[in-house]
Amino acid sequence: MIPVPLPLAFRRLMIGAALAIAALTVMTPSAGAQTVVVVNGDPVTQFDVEQRAKLIQISTQKTPTRNEVIEELINEKLKIQLLKRFMIDGIDKDVDTAYVNMARRMRATPKDFTENLEKQGLKTETLKSRIKADLIWGQIIRGRYQSSFQFSDKDVATRLASKNRDDANVVGYDYTLRPILFVVPRGSPPAAFEARAKEAETLRARFQNCEEGIALARGIRFVAVRPQVVKGSAELPTALRDVLTKTELGRLTAPETTQQGVEVYALCGKRQSENAPAKKEVRDEMYTEVFESHSKKFLKELRDQAMIEYR
């Protein structure tokens, strides 16, 4: 699957969750109900601290101090409490959507993702709480300091020129793609995926243009031709950009194994775009700098106003 880029906070979150599932050890909430700090009336328990500490350790490969964990959980409480001051519609739905997308990026169904978390001793509520805090915080910072996030083309060009990047003048493209999935039933052995990959390679050899090739694909049993999508080269990871750069117009990309089966992409359109990869990276960098600056100031303001009682 070609992934859709997410904000920096979510990319970090997904990496942390993936590592946590791979390596978390089972934890027992001994004395978990013990309150260690109260934030504007909301308690943070010892079990909350234990879970967050382990997640931080696995996702960053660093062992946080107990105080660092508690301070992070205090900040999270303050962010979620902003719902009492600001109207943010559909936040729980957005959390669920982000959770589902996280599972997909790990090539798991939401059910499997949840079961994996539970098997490793990590409550889904812990992860969803962090997602919720990030969503709330992102919306409020962007709304509160909206004008600060407006970067002109001149600003971007100046920053780009200062970096002396070799790819500063690389042209961007918008790609029109048709995903084609060779379905493999869940639980099938590796041989089933290998067989479908061979079918995909056969189609790839015969696929000369999208109009006739899509019809060929639809004639193959258990093949799903999905609606077309348009992806800008600036949105894609370098590896995927390279794949599409080397793929001729009207041809298929190499087969890729996914949870649902074997997938290829038909390159049905390609047009030049002003949003070149280097420009987007610089714009994202500028956005992150401004976001983190305002985030730090507003969080300090919230903490100064809060009633925080350490136990």
Helix, strand or coil, per DSSP, at residue 43: strand
How many Å apart are CA 139 and CA 137, to the nearest integer?
6
Q: How far is CA 259 from the centre of its chain?
A: 17
| 8-147+287-310 against 172-273: fold identical | no
* CATH classification code of 172-273: 3.10.50.40
Distance of CA 299 to CAs 19, 49, 127, Å? Answer: 28, 20, 21
Write down the H helix ranges in 82-178: 91-105, 110-119, 124-144, 153-163
Annotated domain spans of the chain: 8-147+287-310, 172-273
Q: Is the pLDDT of residue 8 over 60?
A: no
pLDDT number for residue 138? 95
Provide CB contacts within 8 A for 293, sequence distance 6+.
Answer: none
Helix, strand or coil, per DSSP, at residue 44: strand
The answer to whether residues 60 and 15 touch, using CB atoms and an 8 Å cutoff, is no
Question: By mean pLDDT, which of 52-56, 210-214, 245-249, 305-309 is the weakest?
Answer: 52-56
The pLDDT mean for the chain works out to 85
Q: Is the pLDDT of residue 226 over 70?
A: yes
Q: How many CB atoms lie within 10 A of CB 126?
A: 17
Distance of CA 256 to CAs 144, 178, 252, Å? Answer: 42, 14, 11
Q: Tell me which fold the domain 8-147+287-310 belongs to.
A: Triger factor/SurA peptide-binding fold (1.10.4030)
Label the pairing between strands 223-225 and 172-183.
antiparallel
Question: pTM of the predicted model, to two decimals?
Answer: 0.65
Q: What is the pLDDT of residues 96-152, one digit of tens each?
A: 999 998 888 887 889 998 888 888 777 888 889 989 999 999 999 999 999 999 888
Q: Is 154 left (phi over 0), alpha (psi -120 to 50) or beta?
A: alpha
